[in-house]
Amino acid sequence: MRAKENNKLIGNVYFQQQEPKEFLTWEISYVFNPEYYGKGYATEACKRVLKYGFEQLGAHRVIGKCNPKNTPSWRLLERLLMRMEGHFKKPAFFGKSNQGKPIWHDAYQYSILAGEFLSIRMTKIT
């Protein structure tokens, strides 16, 4: 995503179909430049990706995961009307220690179904 005022790249939204493909489940995630936090860019981009996923790709379900310590991230998922499904203990890592060992972290998982997104609730997020 690029900022309208200067065309600067400010973030990225990832949208990937999960296996098995016949379950029609996709995962959404995002990374944005901290300089642009709190300005609504991530919310706007994710809304459009969800709309595309449900309306064009025929997704049945979209999941989103985040670090529980990243409050703005899980609040974004909640603004998208996704519901928390679980708190997973150390399922992933994003970095390694100086000794090369993974630094594991917990994750929240959220989801939304096509019927929920396309229902009257959708008017609240698009």
Q: Domain coordinates of the chain in residue numbers?
A: 11-124
Cα torsion through 14, 19, 25, 29, rounded to 10: -20
Distance CA 115, CA 123 (A): 13
* Mean predicted confidence (pLDDT) in 50-79: 96
What is the reported pLDDT for 62? 98
CATH superfamily of 11-124: Gcn5-related N-acetyltransferase (GNAT) (3.40.630.30)
Residues 117-123: what's their mean pLDDT? 67
Taking only the tens place, the pLDDT of each residue in 65-103 is 999 999 999 999 999 999 999 999 999 888 999 999 999
What percentage of the chain exceeds 90 in pLDDT?
77
Structure tokens at 31: 């990374």
48-64 mean pLDDT: 96
